[in-house]
Structure formats: C-alpha cells, structure tokens
Amino acid sequence: MASSGEEGLYSRQLYVLGGGARRLAGAAALVSGLRGTGAQVAAALVLAGTGRVVLHDRGAACTADRAHQFLLGESDVGQNRAEASQRVLAELNPRVVVAAHTGELSEAFLTSFQVVVLTESPLEEQLRIGDFCHARGICFIVADAKGLAGQLFCDFGEHFVVDDPAEGDPACAAVQHISQGNPGVVTCVGAEDSRGHLFCNGDLVTFSGVEGMTELNGQEPVPVHVLDAFRLEIGDTSSFSPYHRGGLVSQVRLPQVHSYEPLRRALTEPQIQVASPEELPRSRSLHAAFQALHAFRAEQGRLPRPRAPADTERVLELAQSLGAQQGPLDEDVVRAFASVSAGDLCPVAAVVGALAAQEALKAITRKFLPLDQWLYFDALECLALEGAARLTEEDCAPRGSRYDGQIAVFGAAFQEQLGRQKYLVVGAGAIGCELLKNFAMMGLAAGPDGDLTVTDMDTVALSNLHRQFLYRSADISKPKSVVAAAAVRRMNPSVRVTAHQNQVGPATEPLYGDNFFRHLDGVTSALDTLEARECWRGERGRAPGRAPQLPSTPGSPQAPTWSAAASVTSHRCWTRARRGHGGTCWPWCPPSPSRWCRPAPLGTAPSPPARCGTFPAPSSTRCRTPTWITSWLLPTSLPKRTRCHHAATGRPPRPSSAAWSCRPLHPRRGSRSPSWRSRRGCRCLQDNNIHVDFITAASNLRAENYGIPAADWLTSKRIAGRIVPAIITTTAAVAGLACLEVYKLVWGCRDRSCYRNSNLWLSDCLLLRVQPLPPPTYRYGGREWSCWDRLEMRAVGADGQEMTVQEVLDWLQRTHGWTVTMLLRGRIVLYDREEGEETQTRQRAQKLSENLEDAGERRQRELELHYVCEGEDAEAEDARPPLLCSLP
C-alpha cells in the first residue's frame, strides 16, 4: 500500500494501523475452516489488502452453511467451501492473491505464512499446528464459535515486537515556557479547548523547534511528571541556555517485546483476558466447556444435539473432569453452552471472526497489543428470554433448511417470526453493509409478510471498498442503497428488500411519517456521525458537522491544517479581513495571539488574492513545499464575478458555517456544480486530492511560520476532511453485537436484564458487555414516568367520528384527573383557557384536525399533542408525557 494510488482505497485503514499497514501487501496468511467464522476472518484480511490469503477447507458446503457463511451462493452447495469462497474473495479485492487449498496442512506448507488462523479445527490439529508455529515463530490464532459463545487464542511466539502499542496519535503540545532548574518545568500552550496537554506520568517525550534552550532539541526521550493540565516536570535544565520561544513537546512510544506460551501449555495454565475481574470465573467455565466439547466430539463423532438433556449432561461431566485445574465450574454456564453448541449464528461468527482478524492484522502490522492469550465471549443471556427457555429438542431439530443452525438455538417458530419482521436500516455504509449482511443470513424479513427498507443518500466511493463488504469497484458512483439491496437479494433471494435514497428527517416527514413507522417492527441506525443520530457536540467541543475553526494559538501540526481547511471548506472571502469582519482566512496570516510568539516570515510568500475562488491545481501534482504553492498561486487568474453565499440559505458569509461556497454570480441554467461542492460539507476534502494538495502546502507554510513540524499529505487529509479512522474488523464486530440484540427484540423481550450494552476495544482486545441502565424517569401528575412513556388515546367519538377538542379535554380529566388549561399541536394552539369565552367555545367545538388544516398542515392519522394543566409549577414544563391521539 505504498503507492499514492492505493492511499485513496486504504486511507481510513492507514489512519488506524499507521505505518505498519504498509507491511500488509507483503504478508501471507492462512485461514483454515471456511464456515461462518473463517469467512469473516478471510474477508477482513482480503479487504485490508493482505498480499496473499490462502483458504483451507476439506469439507463441502451444505444448505445450512448459507445462514452464516455469507460468501456462498445457492449454486455452491456441494462444492468445496474453500474453492467456492475463493471466487468471491478474489473479486472482493483484485490487489490480493487469494488461493484455495484442500489438502493436508503439512509443515512444509505452513512455513510460507506469517500468520495461521484455525477455525473449526479439532483439538489434536490445533495442538500439532500450534507446536509447529510456536517453534518457527509463525503467529498462531485459534478462533471458534459454537452456538452463542466464542473462543479466541493467540500465540505470537517467545519474542514478538510491538512497534506501536497504543491507539491514536502520540500526545503533542506547544511549549510556552521552560524554566531553568532541577527539575525543569515545561509550561504548555493551552489547546483551543483550553483543556491543556494530554500527557500522563511516565510518558517519554522529545523536544523540537525550541529556541534559546536548544540543548533540548534532538535529546534522547526523557520521562515527564505531570504537575497539572498545563505543566510538566522534566530532568535537570539548570545548566541549559535560557528558553526564548517556540518548540514542541511530543510523546515517544517505544517498541515493546512480548512473549507467549504455546497452545499445549496455555490450555492447562490459561492466561485469560477479561474486561473486569468479575468476568474471570465465567470465562474459566467457558474454557473448560470448549475443551469438554472437543472431548465429546472425539467420543461421539458429532456435536451435542440441540436441547438434548443427555448430551448436555455428558458435556458437563467432561467439563467437571477439567474443573480441578481451572477453579470453580459454573455448571449453568456449561449446560447452557452445551445445549446450543450445535448452532451456527451469523452475528456470533461476525464478532469472533472480526476479533480474530484484528489479531491477525496486529501480527502483520505490529500495531496494538496482541491478545494475552485467551478471550471468551458469550451471549447466553439470550436463552433466558421468555419462550426461549421453554424450547424442546423437537423445537430445535434440523428441518433441512438453510436456517437449521439458527433453529438449533432459537427454534423453528422463532425463525418464522424473523421472516415476518419489518425493519428500516438508515445508512448503507460500513456498519450498514454488515447489518444488511447479517440480516440476510438471519432471514430477517425473508417471510411472506416481511419487509426490509434501506435508505442512504450517498454513492459508493473508492475509499469505501476496503471496509464496506457489499460494494465492488464497478459500483463506484452508484447509489449505495441500490447496490446494497441487490447484494442482499443475492445472498438471500427470499429477503424482501427495498432501496431508498432519502435522508430521514423533517424534510422527508411526508414519506417517513407516522404511518410509515407505525408498520415497522424496528429501526437500525447505521449512520456515520453522531450528529446525524442526535444532537451532540463532538470532540473538543466542536459540533461534528461544523467546519474546523482557525485556532488562535497554533500548537501542533493539526492546528495549521485546521486553519487551511477552514479557508477551503468554508470558502471564505480573502478580503474579509480588510473589510473589518475579523478572523483570518489566509492560512499563513495568523491572528495576533496573546500567548504565542510572532511568526517568523517565510522566504517567499505571495500576497493574498483579491477575490475568492477555487484553483485548477494539476491533479498529478503532490504539493509538499512552499515553492510549489508559490509557483501555483502567483500566476493564477481568478474568476471576476464571484460572491460568497451559503449553499442552502443564500445568506451573507458567516465565519462558523461549513456550507459556504463561491461560484459565479449568474450560473447558466442546468450547469453542474463545481467539483468541490458537496451536500456532505467536507466531502470534497475527503475525496478530492486537489484540495488536499492545497491544504497540505498551505498548512505546512503556516507551520513553518511557527516552527511547527510539517504534516504529511495523508495526515492533512484526515484532519482537514474530519475523516474518522475506520476498519472492517470494528464494523463487523459492532454489527454482530447489534444483531444479537435484534434477536431479543424479535422475541418481544421486555426484561431489561436480558439486553446488553457493549463496549469493544480492538486495540487491546477487550469486550465489556453490561446491562443497560434504566431509562431516566420524572414525576408528573402524582406518578413516575420514564422518558419512553406516552399517553395514548383513540380519538374516535361514540359516533365513529374524530373527537372534538372538548372530548379530548374530558378524556384527560376523566382518565388522569387533569384540568387542561392549554392544548397544543406544535406551535398551533388548539385550546387556551386564557382566551375569551367566544374563542374558547369555538376551540372546544372543533375537531382535532380542523385547526391543523387551517394552518396548512396535511392531515395525519396520528397526532402528538402537548398540554398545560392547572396547578403546575414551573419545573413541570418539560416533564409531561406527550399525548398521542389516533384519528379514524
């Protein structure tokens, strides 16, 4: 992935894995076992760009594989799983060599791989291959999913070097002052959020660009002691020259060496990684249960029959024989595990496979800490659901269906219920693709009454392909929802899926209104920003959708890049500063900071142009230096008649908006928008390399002003485009966890203890699942309400006609004892006791929808009304359950 042409494809992944991602193209990985878990591992490695991925499986695909192995089509049944999967994976990423192997896993064959991943392997094979890989320094991973539980094991040898163990960029801060003393005290410049530095005690740091106390520049890393949010203690500086100005203090992450035990020893002395000590006994019980399952299979030649008491008890007996070595055994956990261990669930395979794939990427890239050494995952709480607990062996017996693996866990009647579901998926990006894939495998909306709607306004882009499984290079520029829906139909032709290209919001309320949502069973949000999901202020206190703002005290490579991004994203007029509007638009003309030194002049800098506009930068040029930007801008002739306007409102410029653009005053009718304009705000900075070229050069010029290290092209693109680093393993695991909760919703479970909130840290391989907190409550009208509570009434009178306002008031008085003084529908007043008697009489006599129609609202079948009651205090204003009235 070293070429610039591949940066567009893998850019989001590069932000996650760093420079180690470039090792992927030269790596070779073996994935053995191509059922659900192996398919997830293999797909992730191929999408990530691993140079060679070899698939191994000696079995033939069966009908039941198609409920969890998403690479298989109907015509692949009866064919070798590895060979059938190879055809799809080779198409998924032409840059990767994908091969199939159906023979023995000999030692000579294994020597060519850096990583070996075993799924669906018997214990004897795991031990044999584990011993060989450990002796040869080949990274070895075991991943297995059985029913509602999963197992993961890693052995990366006795001397595995982790180049960069942490997530995110190293901490960095600008220096305001350094004292002469023992110890010396470094005072950092406050960031734009005024939260200070991000260093921790013991962090190793280096200094650069310091003027005056130059002895610090280039010094070996030194540890820091944090005094407060802005001050750090370092070593003895009493003999150094006095500090003058400038400088940057940067965290240094040193490589770490880790040692791992081979599988044979780790089985009897397991090192199990858990998110909290309370989880350890459960994980130890699952460790024994998986070993007992291997013993049962060797003894019986099969897995335990679903819900068969005799088989379940035999697994428990085998686990008890191992219990003395592992500590107390939770027999209920072992019984629950054994009773559904013959099942195959796509969501569980997605979670375990994603975790295993991430460990394989760690082995290749040496980025992040590998698993030490066992991890166990389960969703056995699903078996406590009402209805699931009463299932019998007959309910879960195979039917010869593609869903037999799911029926083994939840029964045949539940499968029919899944088929009747009506769901809306909002967003068909990375998480949306994984959700849709799982839904197709699960058979959601695959019955006669089912319906699955997916909506997304976006089109497929090159940068989507490394993590959005449903898309191929031929789909670029096509609507995501349309392509995704077609892919769902190929995976499961029975799923009734419809594609929309709409945003879900106030503008589309006529389409996605009460009637639409009334007929749904559920909605899954797969949107890529929290802003799109709810009101939220993003990191560093900045709303996610706003353009980055010019910081007054640039202190890191990010600061000048934000500045350059602001001038391009917002397309501000460069004459604004002259006209007294305040702020600074030109990247190398910073404001007068109160806590920052005066910028050093550049050798050559052009005068700011007189008008705003975009520039025809050569697409083949990567601008890296001030000389390039100078030669580019000086001869540029700008359009004569331009103005700044807001893309939606047309109002005059405002510094904080992200939607400003510049265009000719009188564009021709039907002419296309300039290439840099986008309904997605900063999309131009994510996908348009010309703008990134400009930002890189402009921000690095400003960095040179202040003695700040320059940012490379890829870093500038991430900062300016507000690109969220993303990787296929994360999205696959998140979607799998979400679909486990969908199972519970389909059961109609109302017991909060059966649901789970999940927090996943792939960088440390930690998974924390906890019961959700109860919803917020409040008191009103003498009782307690939750934030989900509603008053519901059928607003139909005795005559079958729509109720009048008076009848609604009477219902509230009769049902709740509330005397209503005001009734409203949004801003429309339906009744107000403060009005005159004549007006009140007219309001009471009107039908509920009459006032609404007079105000221009379209007629709806359901109205949400708000009210004020007699005797309320001021605090009750936001503490009333809304009233939902169903009209005839």
Catalytic residue numbers, as ranges: 573
Sign of CA dihedral 425, 429, 431, 435: positive
* Nearest-angstrom CA–CA distance, 560 and 602: 15
* Nearest-angstrom CA–CA distance, 780 and 785: 7
Strand, helix or coil for residue 64: helix
Residue 588 near residue 561, CB atoms below 8 Å? no
* Nearest-angstrom CA–CA distance, 279 and 302: 30
Question: Which among 294, 343, 289 has a CA at the least distance from the CA of 316?
Answer: 289
H-run or E-run covering 177: strand 172-178
Torsion angle in degrees (nearest 10) through CA of 495, 499, 502, 508: -60
The type of residue at 364 is I
Spatial neighbors of 773 by CB under 8 A, at least 6 apart, are none
Question: Which among 319, 312, 261 has a CA at the least distance from the CA of 286?
Answer: 319
Torsion angle in degrees (nearest 10) through CA of 858, 864, 870, 873: -120
* Nearest-angstrom CA–CA distance, 842 and 435: 52
- HSE of 109 in the Cβ direction (CA atoms, 13 Å)? 15
Neighbour count for residue 379 (Cβ, 10 Å): 24
The type of residue at 678 is S
* Nearest-angstrom CA–CA distance, 590 and 706: 10
* Angle subtended by helix axes 728-747 and 430-442, to nearest 10: 50
H-run or E-run covering 718: helix 713-720
H-run or E-run covering 487: helix 480-491
Residue 734 near residue 726, CB atoms below 8 Å? no
Say which DSSP state 92 is in.
Answer: H
Neighbour count for residue 540 (Cβ, 10 Å): 10
Question: Which among 559, 572, 566, 690 has a CA at the least distance from the CA of 621?
Answer: 690
H-run or E-run covering 830: strand 828-832
Judged on CB neighbours under 10 Å (0-12, 13-18, 19+), 277 is exposed
Count, residues in the chain: 888
Q: Which residues of 858-880 are buried (b: 16+ CB within 10 A; e: fewer)?
A: eebeebebebbbeebeeeeeeeb
Q: Which residues of 125-139 are buried (b: 16+ CB within 10 A; e: fewer)?
A: ebebbbbbbbeeebb
| Residue 340 Cα distances to 147, 177, 407, 566, angstroms | 5, 64, 10, 56
Place of tokens 């449903």: 470
* Nearest-angstrom CA–CA distance, 480 and 501: 8
Strand 422-426 to strand 522-525: parallel, antiparallel, or no bridges (unpaired)?
parallel
Q: Cα-atom radius of gyration of the chain, to the nearest Å?
A: 31
Neighbour count for residue 539 (Cβ, 10 Å): 8
Token pair, residue 584, equals: 């600074």
* Nearest-angstrom CA–CA distance, 844 and 824: 13
